[in-house]
Amino acid sequence: MTRQLRSNFPRGSYLWSVRNAQWQAMGIPEADCEKPKIAVVNSSSELAACYSHLDKVAAIVKDAIRAAGGVPFEIRTAAPSDFVTGAGARGAYMLAARDLVTNDIEVAVEGAQLDGMVCLTSCDKTVPGHLMAAARLNVPTIVVPCGYQGSGEFRGHHCDIEDVFVSAMHAVTGKLDVETVVGMSREAIRTPGVCSGMGTANSMHIVCEALGMALPGSAPVAAMSPKMKADAAAAGTRIVQMVWDDLKPRDIMRPGAFANATRAVLAVGGSVNCIKHLQGVATEAGLEVDVYSMFERFGAEVPVLAGVRPVGEQTIEEFEAAGGCRAVLKQLRVQLDTDVLSVTGRTLAAELDEASVADAKTIRPLDNPFSRRPAITVLRGSMCPDTGIVKTGIIERKVRRFSGPAICFETSDAAIAALKDGAIRPGHVVVMRGAGASGGPAMGGGASRVVFAIDGAGLGDQVALLTDGHLSGLVCKGLVVAEVSPEAALGGPLALVHDGDTVTVDLEARRCDLEISADEMQRRRAAWQPPKPMFDRGWLQIYRRNVGPLPQGAVLVKSEPAP
C-alpha cells in the first residue's frame, strides 16, 4: 500500500496547502491528505422515487470507505427520471442528461484528481452515465445498483408504474376512464427505487454486473433491503483496495465483457436502450467494439432464459430470489468469456464457480428456455441502413412480416391526434420521425406514448410503427421498429418517406425496407432540406450540436463550428 496516489501532492506545496486549508475547515484531519480519496457519486433528488433514498445509501458507503482507510467525498450529479423530468422539451432532457451526468462526474473527479469512485446508480440514464464516466476517466470504480421499487395492487390486481403508463395512454383513446388511471397512480409505487419491471434501469443494473463493474450478486435488488445495504457497504470497503491495486475500468471492460453483457441482456429480454448505452460506454472506453453487431449476431445464439415483466409475467422479486444476474451468467457460462475480470479482482470463471441458480424454472437453462427466438431483433434494410431495433418479446407473434402504406407524422402529438380521429387504420405503417438523437434532440418526442395509444385504440396487431426515437424500456407491445438509423434529421431514409409509400418489415429476414426505386430514393434525397433545429439554446443546443450517431452510442463526440 505504498503506491503513489494521484491525489497526493508534496506536503507544503501550493496544491497540498490549499486543500489542507479547505479540508481542515471541514473537519478532515491533515493525515487524511495521504489516504485514498474516493468520490461517492450520488444522484440524490427529491423529484422522483428513483433517487429519494440515495442519501441514506451514500452514508453507508462513506462509513465503509472510512473504515477501510479511505476518505470519501460525496459529489452530486443531475438526476433524470423519465416520469418527472421527461415533461419538458418533449422529453429531450432525458437522454441528454445521460451525457450531462458523465460530464458532471468528470468535472468533480478529474478536476480534483480523486483516486476512485463508487457510483450510486439508479434510474435509466444515471447507469450508463456512470459507466461512461468510469470508462472515460479510467480510475478505479465500483457501480452500486441502488434497487427497484416495491409495486402495489389495485382492485385486486398487481399494479406498477408500467401499468400506469399504459393505462394513461389507453385513457387518451377512450379505452379506459380517467378515474381508474388516477386510482392506479395512487397504488403503483410503494417504496423508493427504480421501475419494478425489466425496464431500462433493471436491465442496465444487470449490465453493470455482467460487465464486471458491480459486485457479483448485486443486481437486481430491492431498494433499501438488507441485501442492498450490505452490497453498498461491501462496495465502500472494496473500492479502497481497488485503488491500492490500481484496478481500473479499462482493465475490466474489455471486448469480452461487452459480449457477456450483450448475452445477458438478450437472455433476460432486457430493454432495447441497453444497446446504445453499451455502445456509448465502449466508445468512451476507446474500444472498437460494435455492440449493435453483437446483438445482431448473438440474437440467434442466446435464448430467453427469464421472463420478467414486461417481456413475460414474472416479477422482479421472483427473478432476484432465483439468483438474479449471477444466476443468468451461470446458465450462460458455456457462451461467456470467463477470463474477464470483475471489480473483485477475480475472473468471471472464479466468480461463477461459486454461483448457483436458486430456481431453474424462473431462470432457465439453455436447453429449456422461455423462448428460442430473440426478444430483441436488429433490422437492416433500405429504411434503416445502419440499424433499426424491434423488441420482439417472447410471445409467439401472429404476424412476422408486415407490409403496408405509410402514414407520416413529425410529432407524437400529431400521431395521437390522428389516431383519435380515425385517420390511422388497420394496415397502416405509422412513421413518426424527427425524434432521433440530433433531431429530437436527444431522442425526445414521445414514441412510447404513440405505442401505448395505438395499443389502447385496439390497433396493436393491425399496424406497424417506425420511428427514429427510442422507446421506454417498459415497451413490449405491437410491431415497432425504433431507433431507425440514420435518423430523419440527418437525411436518413425515414425523412424521405411519403404518405402511401409501401414499407415492409420482415422479422424473419431481419429487414425493414422502403419499397421505392433507387432512382426515386436519390431524387428525394437531392430535394430534401434539413428541418429547423429544435431548442436552439442552452444545454439542449450543446447536446444537439455535439451528439454523435447511434452506431457510436450517441455520445458527445461531434463538433460543429459556431454559426
Rounded (10°) CA dihedral 74, 77, 80, 81: 0
d(CA 163, CA 179): 14
Task: Give yes or no: 485 in active site.
Answer: no
Say if CB 163 and CB 203 are below 8 A apart. no
d(CA 445, CA 448): 9
Alpha helices in 422-481 (DSSP H): 447-456
- The alpha carbon of 131 is separated from its chain's Cα centroid by a whole number of angstroms, namely 11
Indicate which residue of 43, 81, 196, 472 is catalytic: 472
Cα separation of the two ends of the chain? 52
CB atoms within 10 A of CB 157: 9
Residue 108 in grid coordinates: 468533480
Is-cis flag, bond preceding 441, omega within 30?
yes
d(CA 157, CA 161): 13
CA-closest candidate to residue 534, choices 438, 448, 431:
438
Residue 96 in grid coordinates: 441528454
d(CA 65, CA 72): 6
Say if CB 219 and CB 327 are below 8 A apart. no
| Inter-axis angle of helices 200-211 and 273-284, nearest 10 | 40
d(CA 472, CA 200): 7
- Taking CB atoms within 8 Å and a gap of at least 24, the contacts of 57-60 are 57/120, 57/144, 57/146, 57/224, 57/228, 57/229, 57/232, 58/120, 60/229, 60/232, 60/233, 60/236
Positions annotated as catalytic residues are 472
